[in-house]
């Protein structure tokens, strides 16, 4: 039998699936998806070093080296102080907390608003929830990415959130994953935002264990006609943690979806973002900031698919790489034949603070329509020496002057975050990192 990349990992995942088969296959429709995903892994393996989509991020090799997928450790105790430590100071939100992939009622808020329906994924699957069956792997598609397939095989927990039509949810919904062990956590969130509804979702993953850990989180998000949904992905995990995020979004007529991805720490982070604008009048906004130090590696892969006319997408990603860190950006925009009157803009800008820091960037634009306004571009360089000299000539110390310039570089992304508590959180980390 031919061996594929990640064969040892797939063997362990197969063993875990068989051991948990009664629990994982309790829902017939979802059981079929799990079997399909496992077959895909067995037949194709994980991404190898020369795989085009992962050629700058050899996550398979890192996981083979650092993560024991069959390991089941005793989880350490988590107290309120631990949970609060990884929340965002001053942020009022509905908190949904998972410890080692399991829902924690103790550290979660009771959502009493009638406009929000919340269930854990395990309960939704066990109760044959129509929402779970309708959305499980319908947007992410396990045969298109090996890590989505891995998630589809084993993910039995996460948040299932349904926002009713015309609802305006004033407080953000904060999905918090806290991991205390050095094994892997597979989680899937299914989110539906009803017609003309408004909601903000925040997701954050934190690892307490000193040893390497791996989290694989998939979000499948349906934004109905006229709805306005905002999603924040905050990545400030331990320097030994590995994380892959897949966010798959579909938008209906006149809807707006905004995603803010803030990557600050972790051993290796891969963010896959896929947005399909499936009707007229859609608007998609993508903002990203990666501020990296040490040997942190962050890879942002984005895809925006314009399928219908009169839609807009804006994409702005900025990166600051220090020490031996590495950033990767690959942004794809597709404008289909029927998507006339499309406006699509993409920008990626990077600053390297050392000779050892690197960035690989590849903006892509494929257009089949002829009446569109589209642009893309990327820049990579160092701090403006003239501006730095100007500040230092006025008595500002070099470290402080560099911090001021980098704050200015990142300011437009930070301003797009809108929520003051999150802005302050990111600003404080930038300040402490740059004024070291």
Q: What's the confidence (pLDDT) of residue 210?
A: 84
The tens digit of pLDDT for each residue in 254-271 reads 999 999 999 999 999 999
What integer best gives the mean pLDDT of the chain? 93
How many residues make up the chain in this entry? Answer: 436
114, 131, 314: which is closest to 220 by C-alpha? 131
> Per-residue pLDDT for 208 more than 80?
yes
3-state secondary structure of 233: strand
Mean pLDDT across 280-288: 98
369 with 344: CB under 8 angstroms? no
Binned at pLDDT 50, 70 and 90, residue 385 comes out as: confident
CA angle 109, 20, 210 (to 5 degrees): 60
Helix, strand, coil % in the chain, rounded to nearest 5: 25, 40, 35
The Cα-based distances of 341 to 108, 283, 332, 344, 368 in angstroms read 45, 13, 18, 10, 12
Binned at pLDDT 50, 70 and 90, residue 435 comes out as: low
> How many C-beta atoms surround the C-beta of residue 39 within 10 A?
14
Mean pLDDT across 310-325: 96
Mean pLDDT across 149-177: 96
Q: Which of these ranges, 19-28, 160-169, 288-297, has the smallest mean pLDDT?
A: 19-28
The Cα-based distances of 37 to 148, 169, 187 in angstroms read 8, 35, 15
> Per-residue pLDDT for 140 more than 90?
yes
Q: What's the confidence (pLDDT) of residue 130?
A: 83
> Per-residue pLDDT for 371 more than 90?
yes
Question: Would you call 47 exposed, middle or buried from its count of C-beta atoms within 10 A (0-12, 13-18, 19+)?
Answer: buried
Bridge-based pairing of strands 256-265 and 228-236 is parallel
Global pTM exceeds 0.75: yes
Bridge-based pairing of strands 358-367 and 326-335 is parallel
200, 251, 260, 258: which is closest to 226 by C-alpha? 251
DSSP string, 49-104: TT-GGGTT--HHHHHHHH--TT--PPPPP--HHHHHHTS-TT---EEEEEETTEE-
Mean pLDDT across 393-398: 88
The tens digit of pLDDT for each residue in 223-247 reads 999 999 999 999 999 999 999 999 9
The tens digit of pLDDT for each residue in 71-110 reads 666 667 888 998 999 999 999 999 999 999 999 999 999 9
Binned at pLDDT 50, 70 and 90, residue 1 comes out as: very low
């Amino acid at each position: 039998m031919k061996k594929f990349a990640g064969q040892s990992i797939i063997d362990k995942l197969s063993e875990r699936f068989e051991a948990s088969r009664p629990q994982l296959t309790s829902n017939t429709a979802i059981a079929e998806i799990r079997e399909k995903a496992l077959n895909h892994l067995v037949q194709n393996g994980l991404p190898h070093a020369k795989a085009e989509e992962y050629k700058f991020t050899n996550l398979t090799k890192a996981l083979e080296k650092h993560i024991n997928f069959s390991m089941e450790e005793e989880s350490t105790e988590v107290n309120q102080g631990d949970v609060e430590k990884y929340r965002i100071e001053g942020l009022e939100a509905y908190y949904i907390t998972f410890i080692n992939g399991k829902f924690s009622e103790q550290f979660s808020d009771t959502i009493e608003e009638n406009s929000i329906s919340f269930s854990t994924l395990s309960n939704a699957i066990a109760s044959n929830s129509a929402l779970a069956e309708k959305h499980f792997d319908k947007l992410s598609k396990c045969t298109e990415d090996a890590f989505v397939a891995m998630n589809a095989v084993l993910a039995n927990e996460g948040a299932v959130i349904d926002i009713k039509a015309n609802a305006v949810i004033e407080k953000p919904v904060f999905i918090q994953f806290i991991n205390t062990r050095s094994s892997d956590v597979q989680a899937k969130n299914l989110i539906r935002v009803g017609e003309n509804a408004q909601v903000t979702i925040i997701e954050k993953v934190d690892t307490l264990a000193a040893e390497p850990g791996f989290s694989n989180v998939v979000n499948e998000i349906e934004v109905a006609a006229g709805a306005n949904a905002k999603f924040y992905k905050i990545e400030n995990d331990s320097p030994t943690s590995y994380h892959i995020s897949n966010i798959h979004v579909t938008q209906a007529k006149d809807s707006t979806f905004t995603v803010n991805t803030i990557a600050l720490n972790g051993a290796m982070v891969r963010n896959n973002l896929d947005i399909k604008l499936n009707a007229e009048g859609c608007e998609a906004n993508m903002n990203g900031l990666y501020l990296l130090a040490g040997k942190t590696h962050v890879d942002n892969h984005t895809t925006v698919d314009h399928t219908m006319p009169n839609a807009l997408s804006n994409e702005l990603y900025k990166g600051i790489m220090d020490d031996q860190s590495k950033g990767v950006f690959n942004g794809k925009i597709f404008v289909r034949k029927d998507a006339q009157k499309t406006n699509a803009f993409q920008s990626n800008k990077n600053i390297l603070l050392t000779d050892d820091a690197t960035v690989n960037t590849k903006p892509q634009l494929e257009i089949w329509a002829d009446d569109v306004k589209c642009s893309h571009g990327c820049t990579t360089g160092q701090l403006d020496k003239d501006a730095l000299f100007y500040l230092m000539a006025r008595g500002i110390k070099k470290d402080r002057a560099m911090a001021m310039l980098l704050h200015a570089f990142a300011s437009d992304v930070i301003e797009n975050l809108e929520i003051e508590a999150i802005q302050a959180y990111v600003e404080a980390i930038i300040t402490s990192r740059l004024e070291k």
